[in-house]
């Protein structure tokens, strides 16, 4: 199992995608293919730790610590501004369109 931010003593994070805003560019899947995947509908989704595509609206998955930079860059460079990375504890967005 991949190390998470929590295992390293940092604040655990999770990521989710708003498919209503996804443009299907696939930048996220290029940056972090272990976390993101394009489905046959052309939209990006997050994957579980077991590599299962999570297609329920608002489905979130933990951010593995070794992939944090790639996930953060995915959120920053996403043309649809649809990737949201938030703290697990209080659901405050730290990377993405709603980050403070």
* CA 68 to centroid of chain Cα atoms: 9
This prediction's pTM: 0.88
The single residue listed with the structure tokens 């860059």 is 73
| Cα dist from 25 to 11, 15, 74, 77, 98, whole Å | 29, 18, 11, 11, 20
Q: What's the order of all strands across the beta sheet hosting 53-54? A: 36-38, 44-47, 53-54
Question: Helices in 13-92 by DSSP H: which ranges?
Answer: 27-31, 68-77
pLDDT at 2 over 90: no
For residue 47, give both structure tokens.
Answer: 């994957």
Q: What are the chain's domains?
A: 13-95 (3.30.70.20)
pLDDT tens digits along 53-84: 999 999 999 999 999 999 999 999 999 999 99
């Amino acid at each position: 199992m991949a190390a998470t931010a929590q295992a390293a003593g940092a604040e655990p994070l999770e990521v989710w995608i708003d498919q209503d805003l996804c443009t299907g560019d696939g930048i996220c899947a290029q940056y972090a293919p272990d976390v993101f995947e394009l489905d046959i509908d052309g939209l990006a989704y997050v994957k579980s730790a077991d590599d299962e595509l999570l297609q329920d609206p608002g489905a979130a998955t933990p951010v593995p610590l070794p992939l944090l930079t790639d996930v953060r860059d995915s959120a920053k460079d996403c043309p649809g501004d649809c990737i949201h990375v938030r703290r697990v504890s209080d659901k405050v967005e730290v990377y993405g369109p709603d980050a403070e």
